[in-house]
Amino acid sequence: MKLIQICRNTVVAIGLTLSAANVHAEELTVATFVPPQHHTNTVMFKWFGEELAKRSGGSLTMKLYPAGQLGAGPVQQYKRAVEGVADITFGVAAYTPSIFPKTMLAIPPGKAESSTEATERMLAVFDQYLADEFKDVKVIGLTTAAGIGIAATRDMSTLEGMAGAKVVPYAALTSPIIEAMGATPVQMPVTEMYTGLSTGTIDGTYATYNNMTPPWNFWDVATHFVTNVPVQHAVIFVVMNKERYMGLSDEHRAIVDELAMTESSMKLAESFDGADERSLKMMSETDDKKYELVEVTAEERARMDAAVAEGMKIIFADYAERGIENAQEIYNAINR
């Protein structure tokens, strides 16, 4: 009888232990507007999910909801994190510029020529200049999509070629720069640019190599891809609902902290730069091209850089009118 009782007690103890484990198991929901095959899903979020599970022994996991399953479109991604529609969201700062005026100073052309460079620069100034814009969330990562070229339906490798062209910048913020180059800025989300180029609604758009190839396929509708232009950057964020983060156990919260900022940001940058490398290789290996790859000359690039400088004066003046007197200081710090 005593042995039977011991066995019963053991079974009960095991059951209680398993129940406790189930209670403390956590699954984080991740909302993104890009399709499942997008490189941020197959690289960054795949890595993030694997690291959560590995470091927690399987008690902290994540579930990805791509293609707007938790809310259509990219515009409300930050709001969805703040309101807890998803635990974690992936979004673009330029879609809600009033929330991120200082962070958006990483968008205009500066010294960064890649996502990795831009990420390192943003992280270096984050605590001093940008952190207060993210006070309502837990920041998981920050990076950029580096717009290293212009996908166009005409040759825009000179200021004369850009004159009068309808061009989509990476943010309305940089409209003065587009205007200083002689073009007309047109605001359009990336999901509409293929059609815009196809129908002539726009003549060109800032783009990455990755935009030219699948899944975006701009190479089907663009006649030119112009490189060595002043690089614009689309600032990308991954943020977490603050209450959800604070509600995690100390152990799980520590794991999120380990992965957040430097590790996740650089993984995002790796995702964007890696996608560009693969797309550039694909472009070089494709024989039946419908577009011409054109590089801006050093002389013409100097003219474009001068136009950027003129546009930045207007941008800084606009910031000052909105009460942000140190915009040029922030921009210079990012591009130190």
pLDDT tens-place string over residues 157-168: 999 999 999 999
> Considering the chain, what is the average pLDDT of its residues?
93
pLDDT at residue 190 in the model: 86
**Average pLDDT over every residue of 280-309:** 96
Contact 181/158 with Cβ under 8 angstroms? Answer: no
| Confidence grade of residue 189 (pLDDT, cut at 50, 70, 90) | confident
pLDDT at residue 18 in the model: 43
pLDDT at residue 42 in the model: 97
Q: Is a pLDDT exceeding 90 seen at residue 180?
A: yes
pLDDT at residue 122 in the model: 98
**Average pLDDT over every residue of 260-283:** 97
| Confidence grade of residue 24 (pLDDT, cut at 50, 70, 90) | confident
**Average pLDDT over every residue of 176-193:** 95
Amino acid letter, 321: E
Residue 148: CB partners within 8 Å, gap ≥ 6?
113, 114, 208, 209, 227, 229, 231, 276
3-state secondary structure 244-258: HHHCCCHHHHHHHHH
- CATH number of the structural domain 26-334: 3.40.190.170
